Structure 1
Protein backbone atom coordinates (compact mmCIF):
# COMPACT_ATOMS: atom_id res chain seq x y z
CA UNK A 1 0.00 0.00 0.00
CA UNK A 2 2.77 2.44 0.96
CA UNK A 3 4.77 1.49 -2.12
CA UNK A 4 1.71 2.16 -4.28
CA UNK A 5 1.44 5.63 -2.74
CA UNK A 6 5.04 6.43 -3.63
CA UNK A 7 4.58 5.09 -7.15
CA UNK A 8 1.47 7.21 -7.63
CA UNK A 9 3.25 10.32 -6.40
CA UNK A 10 6.19 9.55 -8.69
CA UNK A 11 3.90 9.34 -11.71
CA UNK A 12 2.57 12.83 -11.07
CA UNK A 13 6.08 14.23 -10.70
CA UNK A 14 6.61 14.05 -6.93
CA UNK A 15 9.55 11.67 -6.65
CA UNK A 16 10.84 13.07 -3.38
CA UNK A 17 10.70 11.78 0.19
CA UNK A 18 7.58 12.82 2.11
CA UNK A 19 9.32 13.23 5.45
CA UNK A 20 11.28 16.50 4.92
CA UNK A 21 8.29 18.83 4.36
CA UNK A 22 6.39 17.25 7.26
CA UNK A 23 9.24 17.98 9.67
CA UNK A 24 8.51 21.70 9.42
CA UNK A 25 5.40 21.25 11.57
CA UNK A 26 6.97 19.91 14.80
CA UNK A 27 10.14 21.95 14.25
CA UNK A 28 8.17 25.17 13.82
CA UNK A 29 6.15 24.43 16.95
CA UNK A 30 9.29 23.74 18.99
CA UNK A 31 10.91 26.96 17.78
CA UNK A 32 7.71 28.84 18.54
CA UNK A 33 7.44 27.32 22.00
CA UNK A 34 10.99 28.31 22.87
CA UNK A 35 10.55 31.87 21.56
CA UNK A 36 7.25 32.38 23.38
CA UNK A 37 8.78 31.11 26.63
CA UNK A 38 11.69 33.55 26.30
CA UNK A 39 9.29 36.41 25.55
CA UNK A 40 7.24 35.42 28.61
CA UNK A 41 10.39 35.61 30.72
CA UNK A 42 11.64 38.92 29.31
CA UNK A 43 8.30 40.73 29.45
CA UNK A 44 6.78 38.82 32.37
CA UNK A 45 3.72 37.89 30.34
CA UNK A 46 2.02 34.67 31.46
CA UNK A 47 -0.11 34.53 28.32
CA UNK A 48 3.01 33.95 26.22
CA UNK A 49 4.04 31.11 28.51
CA UNK A 50 0.65 29.49 28.00
CA UNK A 51 1.13 29.75 24.25
CA UNK A 52 4.58 28.21 24.59
CA UNK A 53 3.12 25.27 26.51
CA UNK A 54 0.50 24.69 23.83
CA UNK A 55 3.17 24.75 21.13
CA UNK A 56 5.05 21.99 22.91
CA UNK A 57 1.90 19.89 23.31
CA UNK A 58 1.17 20.21 19.59
CA UNK A 59 4.80 19.41 18.75
CA UNK A 60 4.58 16.20 20.77
CA UNK A 61 1.35 15.28 18.97
CA UNK A 62 2.88 16.02 15.56
CA UNK A 63 6.06 14.06 16.21
CA UNK A 64 4.76 10.44 15.92
CA UNK A 65 3.27 10.83 12.41
CA UNK A 66 6.41 12.69 11.34
CA UNK A 67 8.55 9.80 12.57
CA UNK A 68 6.30 7.21 10.92
CA UNK A 69 6.50 8.99 7.57
CA UNK A 70 10.26 9.19 8.03
CA UNK A 71 10.42 5.43 8.59
CA UNK A 72 8.36 4.88 5.44
CA UNK A 73 10.77 7.08 3.47
CA UNK A 74 13.69 5.19 4.98
CA UNK A 75 12.35 1.89 3.69
CA UNK A 76 11.33 3.29 0.32
CA UNK A 77 14.42 5.30 -0.56
CA UNK A 78 17.17 3.74 1.54
CA UNK A 79 16.03 0.13 1.73
CA UNK A 80 16.28 0.20 5.52
CA UNK A 81 20.04 0.80 5.38
CA UNK A 82 21.38 2.10 8.71
CA UNK A 83 23.51 4.91 7.36
CA UNK A 84 25.20 7.04 10.02
CA UNK A 85 22.99 10.14 9.50
CA UNK A 86 19.87 7.96 9.68
CA UNK A 87 21.07 6.32 12.89
CA UNK A 88 21.75 9.72 14.43
CA UNK A 89 18.32 10.98 13.37
CA UNK A 90 16.70 7.99 15.08
CA UNK A 91 18.66 8.50 18.28
CA UNK A 92 17.92 12.22 18.39
CA UNK A 93 14.24 11.60 17.60
CA UNK A 94 14.01 9.32 20.64
CA UNK A 95 15.76 11.97 22.75
CA UNK A 96 13.38 14.61 21.40
CA UNK A 97 10.34 12.55 22.41
CA UNK A 98 11.67 12.41 25.98
CA UNK A 99 12.41 16.14 26.10
CA UNK A 100 8.99 17.04 24.70
CA UNK A 101 7.24 14.71 27.14
CA UNK A 102 9.09 16.39 30.02
CA UNK A 103 8.27 19.82 28.58
CA UNK A 104 4.58 18.96 28.39
CA UNK A 105 4.60 17.55 31.92
CA UNK A 106 6.24 20.70 33.27
CA UNK A 107 3.70 22.76 31.37
CA UNK A 108 0.91 21.14 33.35
CA UNK A 109 2.35 22.63 36.52
CA UNK A 110 0.87 26.10 36.48
CA UNK A 111 3.12 27.24 39.30
CA UNK A 112 6.21 26.76 37.14
CA UNK A 113 7.41 29.95 35.50
CA UNK A 114 9.51 30.42 32.35
CA UNK A 115 12.80 29.77 34.14
CA UNK A 116 11.68 26.22 34.97
CA UNK A 117 10.63 25.29 31.44
CA UNK A 118 13.05 27.19 29.18
CA UNK A 119 15.98 24.76 29.76
CA UNK A 120 13.87 21.80 28.61
CA UNK A 121 12.49 23.80 25.70
CA UNK A 122 16.07 24.69 24.72
CA UNK A 123 17.13 21.03 24.86
CA UNK A 124 14.15 20.10 22.69
CA UNK A 125 15.17 22.75 20.19
CA UNK A 126 18.77 21.52 20.13
CA UNK A 127 17.62 17.95 19.51
CA UNK A 128 15.38 19.13 16.67
CA UNK A 129 18.25 21.12 15.15
CA UNK A 130 20.45 18.03 15.36
CA UNK A 131 17.84 15.98 13.52
CA UNK A 132 17.66 18.63 10.83
CA UNK A 133 21.44 18.74 10.52
CA UNK A 134 21.78 15.01 9.95
CA UNK A 135 18.83 15.11 7.57
CA UNK A 136 20.72 17.69 5.55
CA UNK A 137 23.88 15.60 5.66
CA UNK A 138 21.91 12.62 4.42
CA UNK A 139 20.64 14.42 1.33
CA UNK A 140 23.20 17.13 0.60
CA UNK A 141 26.36 16.00 2.35
CA UNK A 142 27.96 14.67 -0.82
CA UNK A 143 26.07 16.69 -3.42
CA UNK A 144 27.85 18.75 -6.04
CA UNK A 145 27.35 22.49 -5.79
CA UNK A 146 24.61 23.96 -7.95
CA UNK A 147 26.88 26.99 -8.41
CA UNK A 148 29.72 24.94 -9.85
CA UNK A 149 30.84 26.06 -13.31
CA UNK A 150 30.74 23.51 -16.13
CA UNK A 151 31.93 23.78 -19.72
CA UNK A 152 28.57 22.43 -20.87
CA UNK A 153 25.67 24.72 -19.83
CA UNK A 154 23.34 21.71 -19.73
CA UNK A 155 25.51 20.15 -17.02
CA UNK A 156 25.02 23.23 -14.85
CA UNK A 157 21.29 22.56 -14.89
CA UNK A 158 21.90 18.85 -14.51
CA UNK A 159 23.71 19.22 -11.18
CA UNK A 160 20.66 20.88 -9.62
CA UNK A 161 18.45 18.18 -11.07
CA UNK A 162 20.75 15.46 -9.72
CA UNK A 163 20.76 16.99 -6.25
CA UNK A 164 16.98 17.17 -6.32
CA UNK A 165 16.11 13.75 -7.71
CA UNK A 166 19.13 11.45 -7.48
CA UNK A 167 21.39 12.40 -4.57
CA UNK A 168 19.06 10.80 -2.04
CA UNK A 169 20.18 7.38 -3.27
CA UNK A 170 23.38 7.92 -5.27
CA UNK A 171 26.78 9.42 -4.52
CA UNK A 172 28.12 11.68 -7.24
CA UNK A 173 31.68 11.73 -5.91
CA UNK A 174 32.08 8.07 -4.92
CA UNK A 175 31.66 4.63 -6.43
CA UNK A 176 30.48 3.18 -3.12
CA UNK A 177 26.85 2.24 -2.62
CA UNK A 178 24.62 4.71 -0.80
CA UNK A 179 21.24 3.15 -1.46
CA UNK A 180 21.90 2.69 -5.14
CA UNK A 181 25.39 2.47 -6.67
CA UNK A 182 27.75 5.43 -6.64
CA UNK A 183 27.92 7.17 -10.01
CA UNK A 184 31.40 8.68 -10.01
CA UNK A 185 33.06 7.96 -13.35
CA UNK A 186 29.87 6.43 -14.74
CA UNK A 187 30.58 7.29 -18.37
CA UNK A 188 34.14 5.98 -18.06
CA UNK A 189 32.82 2.50 -17.32
CA UNK A 190 31.96 -0.18 -19.83
CA UNK A 191 28.67 -1.23 -18.24
CA UNK A 192 25.95 0.37 -16.17
CA UNK A 193 25.66 -0.88 -12.59
CA UNK A 194 22.83 -3.29 -11.81
CA UNK A 195 21.56 -3.70 -15.39
CA UNK A 196 24.93 -4.46 -16.97
CA UNK A 197 23.96 -2.62 -20.14
CA UNK A 198 26.62 -0.71 -22.06
CA UNK A 199 27.08 2.85 -20.82
CA UNK A 200 25.35 4.96 -23.46
CA UNK A 201 23.01 7.93 -23.41
CA UNK A 202 20.20 5.73 -24.67
CA UNK A 203 20.67 3.14 -21.93
CA UNK A 204 20.76 5.80 -19.22
CA UNK A 205 17.46 7.14 -20.57
CA UNK A 206 16.08 3.61 -20.58
CA UNK A 207 17.16 3.09 -16.97
CA UNK A 208 15.41 6.28 -15.90
CA UNK A 209 12.18 5.20 -17.57
CA UNK A 210 12.26 1.49 -16.67
CA UNK A 211 14.64 1.12 -13.73
CA UNK A 212 15.81 -2.02 -11.98
CA UNK A 213 15.34 -3.21 -8.42
CA UNK A 214 13.87 -0.60 -6.02
CA UNK A 215 14.69 2.47 -8.07
CA UNK A 216 11.52 4.46 -8.82
CA UNK A 217 10.81 5.40 -12.45
CA UNK A 218 11.62 8.93 -13.54
CA UNK A 219 9.49 8.88 -16.68
CA UNK A 220 7.99 12.21 -15.61
CA UNK A 221 11.25 13.98 -16.49
CA UNK A 222 11.15 15.84 -19.78
CA UNK A 223 13.54 14.90 -22.59
CA UNK A 224 15.40 18.15 -21.98
CA UNK A 225 15.80 17.40 -18.28
CA UNK A 226 17.12 13.92 -19.05
CA UNK A 227 19.66 15.45 -21.44
CA UNK A 228 20.76 17.86 -18.70
CA UNK A 229 21.08 15.03 -16.21
CA UNK A 230 23.14 12.96 -18.64
CA UNK A 231 25.35 15.97 -19.35
CA UNK A 232 26.07 16.23 -15.64
CA UNK A 233 26.70 12.48 -15.26
CA UNK A 234 29.35 12.76 -17.97
CA UNK A 235 31.28 15.21 -15.77
CA UNK A 236 31.57 12.79 -12.85
Structure 2
Protein backbone atom coordinates (compact mmCIF):
# COMPACT_ATOMS: atom_id res chain seq x y z
CA UNK A 1 0.00 0.00 0.00
CA UNK A 2 1.22 3.51 -0.88
CA UNK A 3 0.86 5.96 2.00
CA UNK A 4 1.29 9.74 2.31
CA UNK A 5 2.02 11.25 5.74
CA UNK A 6 1.64 14.86 6.85
CA UNK A 7 2.86 15.26 10.44
CA UNK A 8 4.89 18.15 11.92
CA UNK A 9 6.56 16.17 14.73
CA UNK A 10 9.80 14.77 13.36
CA UNK A 11 9.84 11.91 15.86
CA UNK A 12 6.29 10.81 15.14
CA UNK A 13 6.65 11.32 11.40
CA UNK A 14 9.80 9.22 11.20
CA UNK A 15 8.31 6.70 13.59
CA UNK A 16 5.26 6.30 11.36
CA UNK A 17 7.47 5.87 8.32
CA UNK A 18 9.44 3.14 10.07
CA UNK A 19 6.36 1.32 11.38
CA UNK A 20 4.58 1.38 8.05
CA UNK A 21 7.60 0.33 6.03
CA UNK A 22 8.37 -2.47 8.48
CA UNK A 23 4.79 -3.66 7.90
CA UNK A 24 5.49 -3.86 4.17
CA UNK A 25 3.93 -0.60 3.02
CA UNK A 26 5.50 2.17 0.94
CA UNK A 27 5.58 5.75 2.25
CA UNK A 28 5.46 7.85 -0.92
CA UNK A 29 5.70 11.23 0.88
CA UNK A 30 6.32 12.40 4.46
CA UNK A 31 5.60 16.10 4.85
CA UNK A 32 6.04 18.38 7.91
CA UNK A 33 3.22 20.76 6.92
CA UNK A 34 0.57 21.37 4.26
CA UNK A 35 2.85 23.29 1.90
CA UNK A 36 2.78 21.33 -1.32
CA UNK A 37 0.45 18.72 0.16
CA UNK A 38 -2.15 18.77 -2.61
CA UNK A 39 0.57 18.58 -5.27
CA UNK A 40 2.11 15.63 -3.43
CA UNK A 41 -1.24 13.82 -3.30
CA UNK A 42 -1.74 14.34 -7.01
CA UNK A 43 1.83 13.36 -7.94
CA UNK A 44 2.21 10.32 -5.67
CA UNK A 45 -1.33 8.92 -5.97
CA UNK A 46 -1.34 7.33 -2.48
CA UNK A 47 -3.74 4.63 -1.38
CA UNK A 48 -4.10 6.32 2.02
CA UNK A 49 -3.35 9.77 3.46
CA UNK A 50 -2.43 10.19 7.15
CA UNK A 51 -2.65 13.73 8.55
CA UNK A 52 -2.21 15.40 11.93
CA UNK A 53 -5.14 17.61 12.95
CA UNK A 54 -2.92 20.50 14.10
CA UNK A 55 -0.18 21.56 11.70
CA UNK A 56 1.99 24.67 11.13
CA UNK A 57 1.82 27.58 10.99
CA UNK A 58 -0.98 28.14 13.56
CA UNK A 59 -1.34 24.59 14.91
CA UNK A 60 -5.12 24.95 15.01
CA UNK A 61 -7.08 23.33 12.19
CA UNK A 62 -4.67 23.24 9.23
CA UNK A 63 -4.66 19.45 9.16
CA UNK A 64 -8.42 19.07 9.25
CA UNK A 65 -8.86 21.72 6.55
CA UNK A 66 -6.28 19.89 4.46
CA UNK A 67 -8.16 16.62 4.98
CA UNK A 68 -11.40 18.26 3.85
CA UNK A 69 -9.62 19.72 0.81
CA UNK A 70 -8.23 16.31 -0.10
CA UNK A 71 -11.69 14.82 0.33
CA UNK A 72 -13.13 17.42 -2.05
CA UNK A 73 -10.40 16.99 -4.68
CA UNK A 74 -9.91 13.23 -4.34
CA UNK A 75 -13.17 11.81 -2.92
CA UNK A 76 -12.26 8.10 -3.07
CA UNK A 77 -8.94 8.53 -1.19
CA UNK A 78 -9.11 6.99 2.32
CA UNK A 79 -7.99 9.43 5.03
CA UNK A 80 -6.70 8.78 8.54
CA UNK A 81 -6.55 11.77 10.88
CA UNK A 82 -4.37 11.63 13.99
CA UNK A 83 -4.99 13.90 16.96
CA UNK A 84 -3.28 14.43 20.32
CA UNK A 85 -6.61 15.04 22.02
CA UNK A 86 -10.26 14.54 21.14
CA UNK A 87 -11.20 17.35 18.75
CA UNK A 88 -14.96 16.88 18.66
CA UNK A 89 -15.77 19.66 16.20
CA UNK A 90 -13.12 18.48 13.76
CA UNK A 91 -14.27 14.87 14.01
CA UNK A 92 -17.82 16.03 13.34
CA UNK A 93 -16.73 17.99 10.27
CA UNK A 94 -15.07 14.93 8.75
CA UNK A 95 -17.87 12.54 9.65
CA UNK A 96 -20.36 14.95 8.11
CA UNK A 97 -18.68 14.49 4.72
CA UNK A 98 -19.66 10.83 4.86
CA UNK A 99 -23.36 11.65 5.07
CA UNK A 100 -23.66 13.88 2.03
CA UNK A 101 -25.20 12.82 -1.30
CA UNK A 102 -21.73 12.06 -2.73
CA UNK A 103 -19.80 10.72 0.26
CA UNK A 104 -16.05 10.34 0.25
CA UNK A 105 -13.85 7.33 0.78
CA UNK A 106 -13.04 5.52 3.99
CA UNK A 107 -12.25 7.55 7.08
CA UNK A 108 -10.25 7.05 10.26
CA UNK A 109 -9.90 9.33 13.29
CA UNK A 110 -7.51 8.06 15.96
CA UNK A 111 -5.73 9.52 18.96
CA UNK A 112 -1.95 9.50 18.61
CA UNK A 113 -1.42 7.29 21.63
CA UNK A 114 -3.02 4.44 19.65
CA UNK A 115 0.19 4.32 17.59
CA UNK A 116 1.94 2.81 20.63
CA UNK A 117 0.02 -0.43 20.03
CA UNK A 118 1.81 -1.11 16.77
CA UNK A 119 -0.10 -4.24 15.74
CA UNK A 120 -3.51 -2.67 16.32
CA UNK A 121 -2.48 0.59 14.66
CA UNK A 122 -1.27 -1.21 11.54
CA UNK A 123 -4.48 -3.24 11.51
CA UNK A 124 -6.52 -0.01 11.69
CA UNK A 125 -4.49 1.53 8.85
CA UNK A 126 -5.06 -1.50 6.66
CA UNK A 127 -8.79 -1.64 7.47
CA UNK A 128 -9.22 2.03 6.56
CA UNK A 129 -7.35 1.54 3.28
CA UNK A 130 -9.61 -1.43 2.56
CA UNK A 131 -12.74 0.71 2.97
CA UNK A 132 -13.58 0.51 6.67
CA UNK A 133 -14.39 3.50 8.85
CA UNK A 134 -12.45 3.45 12.13
CA UNK A 135 -13.13 6.01 14.86
CA UNK A 136 -11.22 6.14 18.13
CA UNK A 137 -13.48 4.96 20.96
CA UNK A 138 -12.66 8.09 22.98
CA UNK A 139 -13.83 10.26 20.09
CA UNK A 140 -17.01 8.25 19.73
CA UNK A 141 -17.79 8.28 23.45
CA UNK A 142 -17.45 12.05 23.67
CA UNK A 143 -19.51 12.61 20.54
CA UNK A 144 -22.24 10.36 21.86
CA UNK A 145 -22.34 11.84 25.37
CA UNK A 146 -22.03 15.55 24.60
CA UNK A 147 -25.05 17.84 24.88
CA UNK A 148 -27.11 17.51 21.72
CA UNK A 149 -30.42 18.40 20.15
CA UNK A 150 -31.06 14.87 18.94
CA UNK A 151 -33.28 13.22 21.54
CA UNK A 152 -32.90 9.89 19.76
CA UNK A 153 -29.54 9.33 21.43
CA UNK A 154 -31.16 9.64 24.84
CA UNK A 155 -33.21 6.54 24.04
CA UNK A 156 -30.13 4.31 24.06
CA UNK A 157 -29.20 2.33 27.13
CA UNK A 158 -25.63 2.43 28.45
CA UNK A 159 -24.99 -1.01 26.95
CA UNK A 160 -26.34 0.12 23.57
CA UNK A 161 -24.07 3.16 23.64
CA UNK A 162 -21.10 0.90 24.33
CA UNK A 163 -22.07 -1.37 21.45
CA UNK A 164 -22.51 1.64 19.18
CA UNK A 165 -19.07 2.94 20.13
CA UNK A 166 -17.55 -0.42 19.21
CA UNK A 167 -19.45 -0.48 15.92
CA UNK A 168 -18.04 2.96 15.12
CA UNK A 169 -14.57 1.71 15.97
CA UNK A 170 -14.99 -0.82 13.18
CA UNK A 171 -15.49 -3.92 15.31
CA UNK A 172 -17.42 -6.86 13.88
CA UNK A 173 -20.34 -8.43 15.73
CA UNK A 174 -18.17 -11.37 16.78
CA UNK A 175 -15.44 -9.03 18.07
CA UNK A 176 -18.00 -7.02 20.06
CA UNK A 177 -19.35 -10.23 21.54
CA UNK A 178 -15.87 -11.25 22.68
CA UNK A 179 -15.07 -7.83 24.16
CA UNK A 180 -18.33 -7.56 26.07
CA UNK A 181 -18.62 -11.26 26.98
CA UNK A 182 -21.92 -11.56 25.14
CA UNK A 183 -23.29 -14.00 22.61
CA UNK A 184 -23.41 -12.86 18.98
CA UNK A 185 -27.19 -13.20 19.16
CA UNK A 186 -27.27 -10.69 22.05
CA UNK A 187 -25.05 -8.28 20.10
CA UNK A 188 -27.37 -8.55 17.10
CA UNK A 189 -30.36 -7.74 19.33
CA UNK A 190 -28.57 -4.67 20.71
CA UNK A 191 -27.71 -3.48 17.19
CA UNK A 192 -31.29 -3.99 16.03
CA UNK A 193 -32.50 -1.95 19.01
CA UNK A 194 -29.97 0.80 18.26
CA UNK A 195 -31.15 1.17 14.68
CA UNK A 196 -34.79 1.14 15.74
CA UNK A 197 -34.28 3.78 18.43
CA UNK A 198 -32.33 6.01 16.06
CA UNK A 199 -34.93 5.58 13.34
CA UNK A 200 -32.33 4.13 10.97
CA UNK A 201 -32.79 1.40 8.39
CA UNK A 202 -30.18 -1.34 8.95
CA UNK A 203 -30.58 -2.31 5.29
CA UNK A 204 -29.27 1.06 4.05
CA UNK A 205 -26.29 0.88 1.74
CA UNK A 206 -24.19 3.16 3.95
CA UNK A 207 -21.90 1.59 6.52
CA UNK A 208 -23.68 1.10 9.78
CA UNK A 209 -21.27 3.30 11.67
CA UNK A 210 -21.95 6.19 9.30
CA UNK A 211 -25.69 5.70 9.53
CA UNK A 212 -25.50 5.50 13.34
CA UNK A 213 -23.48 8.71 13.51
CA UNK A 214 -25.48 10.66 10.92
CA UNK A 215 -27.07 12.67 13.75
CA UNK A 216 -23.70 14.28 14.58
CA UNK A 217 -24.28 16.98 11.99
CA UNK A 218 -27.10 18.31 14.17
CA UNK A 219 -25.50 18.25 17.62
CA UNK A 220 -24.73 21.33 19.62
CA UNK A 221 -21.68 22.64 21.50
CA UNK A 222 -19.64 20.12 23.45
CA UNK A 223 -19.97 19.52 27.15
CA UNK A 224 -17.04 18.63 29.32
CA UNK A 225 -18.67 15.41 30.46
CA UNK A 226 -17.12 11.99 30.71
CA UNK A 227 -17.06 9.43 27.92
CA UNK A 228 -18.46 5.93 27.89
CA UNK A 229 -16.78 3.70 30.42
CA UNK A 230 -15.67 0.12 29.98
CA UNK A 231 -15.49 -2.42 27.20
CA UNK A 232 -13.93 -0.24 24.52
CA UNK A 233 -10.31 -1.29 24.43
TM-score range, shorter chain: under 0.3
What TM-score does the superposition give when structure 1 sets the normalisation length?
0.24
Q: Which has the larger strand fraction?
A: 2
Larger Rg: 1
Structure of greater relative contact order (alpha carbons < 8 Å, 6+ residues apart): 1
Q: Which has the larger helix fraction?
A: 1
